Structure 1
Amino acid sequence: MRNKEAVNKEVMVDEKGLRILEIDPWLEPYKGDLEMRMSRYEGVKKELLGENKSFKDFANGHDYFGFHRTNTGWFYREWAPAADALFLIGDFNDWDRTTHEMTKKENGIWEIFIPGKGTLKHQSRVKVHVVHDGQGKDRVPLYVTRAVQDPETYDFCGQIWKPYRNYKWQDAGFQGDKSKEPIIYEAHIGMAQEKEAIGTYKEFEENILPRIKELGYNTIQFMALMEHPYYGSFGYHVSNFFAASSRFGTPDELKSLVDKAHDMGIRVLMDIVQSHAVKNIYEGINEFDGTDYQFFHSGEKGTHSAWDSKLFNYGKREVIHFLLSNVKYWMEEYHLDGFRFDGVTSMLYHDHGLGTAFDNYAKYFSLNTDVEAVTYLQFANELIKEIKPEALSVAEDMSGMPGMCLPIEDGGIGFDYRLSMGMPDYWFKMLKVNDHDWSMQTLWKELSAGRPGEKRIGYVESHDQALVGDKTLIFSMADKEMYWHMDKESQNMAIDRAVALHKMIRFITISMGTEGYLTFMGNEFGHPEWVDFPREGNGWSYKYCRRQWSISDNPLLRYEDLKHFDGAMVQFMDRKGMMGVAPEQLWLDENRKIIAFRKKDHIFIFNFHPTESYANLEIPIHRDGKYKVVLDTDEEKFGGFNRIAHDIKYEVHPLDMDPNVKGISVYSPSRTAIVLKKL
């Protein structure tokens, strides 16, 4: 490795690399910027790899740095270019800061060989004493694959993880069903249990995986897997990039969890955080070699003002190597099926998108754009596909950067999907509007709008909408009534409205045309409490840092009805291959609050009117046939009023509105969604 910045080397761009202009002609004025994007991608790639190497060959930092056992002993290596001296310390030498001095090699690399295979024992604890400008600090090794916290001092240190027997994977050949778009269950291991304590990998495997399988979700997205010192950060202030969080269990237990998910046919994604890092010095990578610029930008540029964290220098060769090695390590060590990249907007722009309204294309191609971050994301996506072609990558980007989810060879950044972050914002704004004033045109526009050729993950609420200080969708609608009227025998108009809209909003979001869908654990059944991690302000309580699964299993409560509908909805969309299928016909009626559309041989009808039911709602079909209701939100088992018959056949006939138009007439109750299938 050379201690130098990766150069922005200009190379010629083939016209085929700008297919993005054919996909989105509105980008034509920014052709030069797109050419620069591809030129920089090719130039830096050549600088890093040379002529023949792949990113898979390049991203092997974890195989060289850190601790590695041989037949005769252990090698330990670090990259610390500005350090004056390094000393390995730990259980094995009684934490003596003088006995095991490391040797400085070329390019800022330090190395030590410790004779004897048993010198560093499984689960022994280690640190490295780093000296810079006469000052020494005990640090957690950069590439350590396990970090543990002392329960009394709360101090983190590295731990050797070399069990007598390596974990034996059982998922040989698992790829997931590549034909199925992702229906994602977003989950947090620690708060996934009902007990008022931190849950474990093993408990999730035994208690929660079967629930996810039963509901029909085909993908799990795990949050907070990367080690982080503060539990309440939701895992977003990462300290040890190669270590799975030890507060949830051991590496082998996480592997078993992934293995079991694969056995159930469920893909596993990880919420990977490479947009920033925790600023803590003793737990994390900040100032490891004594400088603030080893991994990050120096000074103010290297600090995120809103997140109080450190910002990577994506133009530095060694940083690219570290982060790409991180991607490869998680995929190969834990058999992950891809990632959701957190904080992509923050990476893309020098102002991190804070306060910027991305209301025209010029905002994406200005001096505010961090082109080094764009290039890094292209590299990361290329590496992911090299390792596992069927793997998925999802971008958390609220800016809507053009080309985010187009292939790199077409001028894109290479993600498979972007999170449609405007959808939950839209829904929560709608709840503040009187139901009679909901606009069907706006609803259609908000849920169907997207970049041409780019896939989206639609959702109503993720973990963001469940955090303390905010309210979940159902809590926004029902508020305190949830505490008194969620039993099935209770009569309450606020609860009836909340239950009906909870189902309709989710169903139209998943069915409108997005290619993927996501929900946060527990929200599928209308979890009554927000998420609040233990902190000083709540007496370090875990009361709101858990999921109350028992209420969704209680046959006397309406949470069970919502759970049953969510499972039916997910399985219907997945089984019928409806995900990502664009509507072929659309009918809107603003006055009657109706949205209807056809997908394949199914007709979806949504009646959002708060009070009006229509005995003979006419839907123009323009083709002969018979239809039958196959799913509706008003079924009694889904907490509805059972107003819709499933045994009636609706035959296409000339409509009263216009005898020259053929269609069907159906009963459409208020606040109800219906799906009819052509027989």
Structure 2
Amino acid sequence: MLTDDFADTFQTEVEKGRVLTMPKDGTGLAVLDPWLDPFRDQLKARYARYSDWRYRIEKEGGYKHFTEGYKYFGFNVASDGTITYREWAPNAETASLIGDFNNWDAEAHPMKKNEQGVFEITLKPDASGRPQIPHNSKVKITMTLPGTAERIFRLPAWIRRATQDLTVSPTYDAIFWNPDKPYQFRHLRPKRPESLRIYEAHVGISSSEPRVATYKEFTANVIPLIAYLGYNAIQLMAIMEHVYYASFGYQVTSFFAPSSRYGNPEDLKELVDVAHSYGIAVLLDVVHSHASNNVLDGLNMFDGTDHCYFHEGGRGRHDLWNSRLFNYGYRPVMQFLLSNLRYWMDEYQFDGFRFDGVTSMLYKHHGIGYGFSGNYHEYFGDLVDEDGLMYLQLANDFLHEMYPNVITIAEDVSGMPGSCRPVREGGVGFDYRLAMVVPDMWIKLLKEQKDEDWNMGNIVHTLTNRRHLEKAIAYCESHDQALVGDKTIAFWLMDKEMYTNMSDLTERTPIIDRGMALHKLIRLITHGLGGEGYLNFEGNEFGHPEWLDFPREGNQSSFHYARRQWNVLDDDLLRYKYLNEWDRALQQTEAQYGWLHHPQAYISRKHEGDKVIVFERGNLLFIFNFHPTQSFTDYRVGTNISGKLKLVLNSDDPKYFGYGRINPRCEYFTTAEPWDNRDNWVQVYIPSRTAIVLGKAD
């Protein structure tokens, strides 16, 4: 169990000024949510499991020592040029280090095996004092298996660089990376933002040209655009090395190697450092939910068994993803994964992580064919993978203890209670969870209904239906919805007219008018109502004109759609600029007023006939008119804000492709009479398919 040395007493602030003293047995969640009271015993058992592992880690020197596995395993070079290489491969009989440096001679550099199944070799520097293995040269480990004469060849599990030469083989090569002048960080990490505004990006597609873009191009070209828009965090996809480009980075082969498609490790460090110079945090899309099925250049069958890093048999295989599943309750695996997090934080100065595939980690069914109904019994009992849950608790606990400003986000469709509450309360420990139901709602509405049939109450319910005291990241559309086979919001709204009527030289058409207007309203209401953070996938902010499709056999390995067409923003005659400026206005206005870190909104009106939604958040009054044809003059709305108000945002402004029907200098005065359960009311002109935001004028 957790000892008193590091089991602190704590209190949690909750609404209305109440302070609840939390128990120290992991049942604090039941104090916050009485519906969890019947599950106290299971919450205690979960916490006891976490506590036992935490105690074992403390006995080994604590998180600081336990998570430095990358300084012990793999290749480490001392200041005098001595190289030490260690690899855990318990099933192997013998092992040797081979590479360009010894002409791939399996007899030249045999390794010694200790009682823990770790092979080790030390290479003294050469006569000139240089490391024996040249920088940027190829290496491998070769092993023999017990009871057979079979010799296997593997990429070192902790290798820090892997490259692919498709002219020779699709299999990756391990590279010994030891530059004379490694990149030196010049900028401190930015402070953790109160309001998290995330720009999700994929380096490889971040070019208008049909090819793989580079870290350096992203640094020079894209980071300034992100800063201009006003985002304060970048979430980088597909960084951990993966063999198949079209996997979007979700079939990882080398967990400690940044993808070589975009450049070398020093280039990635520069990218992070430059982002920090703009005050932008950088989050890594980390994939610990599964690993590539590859054998020759992955972790699968690493020491000749199927259970070195993974569960044995069927439990170790994800049928839908055709990938391997980690054995989270096995100490060497836990150290490998926790050290992986530490490595990206320390070596590359990332500011946090978006954990991919959390649903798969939390449940034995991995979410395959399982529809979560919200019944609390779904989050307990035999359905839950207690080892996966325990690993996530340890990962979050470790990260928040060592890096107080770290940001962790769960990609979890299940909505497990306590996902975004501290581990000490019995939670999983994430800071945020992606509100995955929100983009599903928007796409469903656009696919199945005319906007005149949209139900205002249902939209509001979906945007606000999240667990109280747990933070969510709202987003309008996911990167998956940009892929071939689906459409972005802009494409659903405007479709083929994006090819013919997005020029200011053409007349405004009903389809473009509707599409541009709803694109703006959808983004603002999601931003204002949907969560405690906001996320946008690159290109969607300006209504990217085409889908995303990686080169693959089905499209003749074409890069035509594996790119972001920034060129449409460079052309001042095209209308994409209006959506881009609207997105900038959203981010910068939020930065000024901070509604994301204010309590959830108070919704005073959701009128089905008028198609009007009104709410207050962050001392601002948000007013939406979704009606396709009806504008309202002197429309009365309730508010607890009093006095003189001013226009803060207006989607009908011509600089956002509006009609300019609202006077930007108009002053609004509240009347101290109750309306819609608010203390005051104010009258506004609200044109059709328009949103305005009002704030205090003084």
Secondary structure at 2:339 match in 1: helix
Q: Offset at 1:100?
A: 1.4
- The answer as to whether partners of 2:619 and 2:641 remain within 8 angstroms in 1 is no
Q: Does 2:652 align with 1:634?
A: yes
Q: Does 1:389 align with 2:398?
A: no
> 1:193 deviation in Å?
0.8
Give the equivalent residue in structure 1 for 2:100.
Answer: 91
Q: CA RMSD in A?
A: 1.8
Work out which of the residue numbers 560, 577, 580 in structure 2 matches 1:563.
Answer: 580
Residue of 200, 204, 207 corresponding to 2:214: 200
| C-alpha contact 1:89 1:96 (8 A) present in aligned 2 | yes
Task: Structure 2 unaligned segments of length 5 or more: list them.
Answer: 1-6, 8-21
CA distance in 2, matches of 1:547, 1:490: 26
Deviates more, 1:474-483 or 1:412-421: 474-483
Alpha carbons 1:186, 1:462 under 8 Å: kept: no
Equivalent residue of 1:609, what SS?
A: coil
Q: What is the match of residue 74 of structure 1?
A: 83
Moved more, 151-160 or 610-619: 151-160
**Equivalent of residue 183 in structure 2, options 146, 167, 190:** 167
Within a 5 Å distance, the mapping from 1:133-212 to structure 2 comes to 133-153=148-168, 154-172=170-188, 174=189, 176-212=190-226
The answer to whether residue 143 in structure 2 is matched with residue 130 in structure 1 is: yes
Which amino acid in the other structure matches residue 247 of structure 1?
R
Which amino acid in 1 is paired with 2:696?
K
Relative to structure 1, the CA distance from residue 94 to residue 666 in structure 2 (aligned partners, 3 Å threshold; closer, same or farther) is same
1:337 shift after superposition? 0.2
Q: CA deviation at 1:321?
A: 0.7
In the alignment, what sits opposite 2:554? 537
Structure 2 partner of 1:271: 285
Distance 2:572 2:302 in 1: 55
Supply the distance in 1 between the matched residues of 2:511 and 2:356 (Cα, whole angstroms).
36
Alignment partner, residue 3 of structure 1: none
CA distance in structure 2 between the aligned counterparts of 1:16 and 1:476, rounded to whole angstroms: 50
Over residues 73-122 of structure 1, what are the superposed CA-to-partner deviations in whole Å (9 max), with x where a residue is unaligned? 32111000001111111110111222211111121000112222431111
Aligned match for 1:502, one of 519, 530, 533: 519
Alignment-mate amino acid for residue 385 of structure 2: D
Secondary structure of the residue aligned to 1:563 is helix
Specify the alignment match of 2:667 in structure 1.
Answer: 649
Change (3 A) 1:179 1:284: closer
1:61/1:479 CA distance change after superposition, 3 Å? same
Matches within 5 A, 1:604-623: 604-621=622-639
Measured in 2, the distance between the counterparts of 1:363 and 1:654 equals: 48
Q: Is the 8 A contact 2:234 2:281 kept in 1?
A: yes
Matching of residues 296-311 of structure 1 within 5 Å: 296-311=310-325
Are 2:550 and 2:559, in contact at CA under 8 Å, matched by a contact in 1?
Answer: yes
Counterpart in the other structure of 1:356: 370
**Cα offset for 1:49?**
3.0
**AA matched with 1:25:** P
CA distance in 1, matches of 2:674, 2:279: 49
TM superposition shift of 1:44: 2.1
1:109 aligns with 118
Distance in 1 separating the partners of 2:474 and 2:242 = 28
TM-score norm. by structure 2 comes to: 0.93
Cα gap change, 1:96/1:638 in structure 2, threshold over 3 Å: closer, same or farther? Answer: same
Please name the residue that 2:455 is paired with: 439
Q: Distance in 2 between matches of 1:75 and 1:178?
A: 37
Q: Which residue does 2:251 correspond to in 1? A: 237
Contact 2:674–2:680 (Cα < 8 Å) also in 1: no
Per-residue deviation at 1:41? 0.7
Deviation at 1:654, TM superposition (A): 7.2
Q: 1:40 aligns with which of 45, 49, 59?
A: 49
CA offset digits 1:554-609 (Å, max 9, x no partner): 22111110000000111101221111322245222111011111224321101111
The Cα shift of 1:357 comes to 2.1
Deviations 1:215-252 (A, max 9, x none): 00000000011001111111000000000111110111
Deviation at 1:72, TM superposition (A): 5.6
- Map of 1:4 onto structure 2: none
Structure 2 contact 238–250 (Cα < 8 Å) conserved:
yes
Write the distance in 1 (CA, Å) between the matches of 2:187 and 2:556.
43
Please give the alpha-carbon distance, in whole angstroms, between the structure 1 residues aligned to 2:642 and 2:468. 33
- Structure 1 residue 514: Cα displacement: 1.3
Which of 48, 55, 59 does residue 67 from structure 2 map onto? 59
SS in structure 1 at match of 2:91: coil
- 1:428-507 equivalences in 2 (<5 Å): 428-431=443-446, 432-488=448-504, 489-507=506-524
Q: Which moved more, 1:211-220 or 1:458-467?
A: 458-467
Name 1:20's counterpart in structure 2.
Answer: 29
Residue matched to 2:682: 664
Q: Retained in 2: the 8 A contact 1:56–1:386?
A: no
> Matches of 1:268 and 1:151 in 2, distance apart?
31
Partner in structure 1 of residue 16 of structure 2: none
My pick for the range that moved more, 376-385 or 577-586, is: 577-586
The 3-state SS of whatever aligns with 1:75 is strand
Query: Structure 1 CA distance, aligned partners of 2:347 and 2:654?
Result: 46
Q: Give the partner amino acid of 1:497.
A: R
- Distance of aligned partners of 1:601 and 1:115 in 2 relative to their CA distance in 1, 3 Å threshold: closer
Between the aligned partners of 1:92 and 1:384, the Cα distance in structure 2 is 38
Offset at residue 354 of structure 1 (A): 1.5
Are residues 1:587 and 2:619 paired? no
1:601, 1:266 → 2: CA distance?
A: 26
Residues 301 and 511 from structure 1, CA distance in 2 versus in 1: closer, same or farther, beyond 3 angstroms?
A: same
Aligned to 1:7: none
Matched residues in 2 for 1:232 and 1:357: separation? 27
Q: Distance in 2 between matches of 1:606 and 1:451?
A: 25
CA–CA separation in structure 2 for the residues paired with 1:568 and 1:669? 20
Q: Is the 8 A contact 2:652 2:690 kept in 1?
A: yes
Q: Could you tell me how far 1:151 is from its partner in structure 2?
A: 3.4
Partner residue, 2:15: none
Tell which deviates more after alignment, 425-434 or 335-344: 425-434
Is there any run of 5+ residues in structure 1 with no aligned partner, and where? 1-10
Go from structure 1 to structure 2 and tell me whether the alpha carbon gap of 1:540 and 1:498 turns closer, same or farther (over 3 Å shift).
same
Cα distance, 1:150 vs structure 2 = 2.0
1:119 is matched with 132
1:469-503 per-residue CA deviation (whole Å, 9 max, x = no partner) reads 11111111211121111112332211111111111
Deviations 1:278-310 (A, max 9, x none): 000011011110000001111111111110100
Offset of 1:652 from its aligned partner? 2.0
| Letter paired with 2:353 | F
Amino acid paired to 2:73: F
Contact 1:227–1:243 (Cα < 8 Å) also in 2: yes
SS at match of 1:653: coil
2:481 alignment partner AA = Q
Residue pair 1:270, 1:336 contacting (<8 A) in 2 also: yes
Distance, in Å, in 2 between the alignment partners of 1:273 and 1:49 is: 26
Q: Secondary structure at the match of 2:562?
A: coil
